[in-house]
Amino acid sequence: LKVIWEPSRHQHLAVLAAAAAVTGDGRYADEVVDQLAEWIEQNPVGVGVHWLESLEPALRILAWLWVLPLVLGRPRFTPALCATVLRSLVAQARHIAANLSLYSSPNTHLLGEALALFVVGTALPELNAAADWRERGRAILEREIVAQVGADGVYREASLYYHAYTVECYLLAVIVAERNGTPLAPIVRAGLERMLEALAWLVRPDGRLPNVGDADGGRTLRLGAPNLVTVDELLASGALLFQRAELRAGLPSRGEEAAWLWPDAVSRLDRLGSATAPHGCRQFPDAHLAVNRARVDGDERWALFDAGDMGMLAGGHGHAGCLGLELYAHGRLLVADRGTYVYNGAPAWRAYFRGTRAHSTVVLDGCDQADPTTPFQWATRYRSRVVRRLSSPDYALVTGEHDAYGRLRSPVRHRRTLLSVGGAYWLCVDVLDGGGPHTAEFLFQLAAGLEAESVPGGVFAAPAAAAHGLLVLGAGFADATCRVVTGATDPIQGWQSDDYGDKRPAPTLCTTESLQTPAVRVHLLAPCVRSARGQLQVESERVGDGLAVVVRAEGTTDLVLCSPAADRPLAARGVELVGELLHARMDTTGELQKFLAVQARSVRWHGEALVQADGPGDWARVRQSHAAEPVADGASTGSERA
Q: What tens digit of pLDDT does each residue of 335-376 get?
A: 999 999 999 989 999 999 999 999 999 999 999 999 999 999
What's the confidence (pLDDT) of residue 626? 61
In this prediction, residue 554 has a pLDDT band, given cuts at 50, 70 and 90, of: confident
CB atoms within 10 A of CB 433: 17
C-alpha span between 362 and 321 (Å, rounded): 9
C-alpha span between 342 and 32 (Å, rounded): 30
In this predicted model, what pLDDT tens digit does every residue of 103-160 receive, in sequence order? Answer: 988 999 999 999 999 999 999 999 999 999 999 999 999 999 999 999 999 999 999 9
What is residue 565's three-state secondary structure?
coil
∠ CA 235-312-60, nearest 5°, is 55
69 compared with 634, residue with greater pLDDT: 69
Nearest to 427 by CA among 363, 386, 471, 391: 471
Full set of structural domains in the chain with CATH: 1-99 (no CATH), 140-278 (no CATH), 288-532 (2.70.98.70), 543-642 (no CATH)
The phi-psi region of residue 336 (left if phi > 0; otherwise alpha if psi is between -120 and 50; otherwise beta) is beta
What's the confidence (pLDDT) of residue 639? 38
CA distances from 573 to 548, 605, 621 (A): 9, 9, 20
Side-chain-facing half-sphere of 239: CA atoms under 13 Å: 31
- Do 536 and 503 contact (CB within 8 A), yes or no? no
Q: Which backbone phi and psi does 124 adopt, to 5 degrees?
A: -125, 65
Mean pLDDT, rounded, for 528-544:
89
Q: What is the pTM of this model?
A: 0.95
* Burial environment of residue 38 by CB neighbours within 10 A (0 to 12, 13 to 18, 19 or more): exposed
pLDDT at 532 over 90: no
43: amino acid identity, one letter: N
- Do 169 and 191 contact (CB within 8 A), yes or no? no
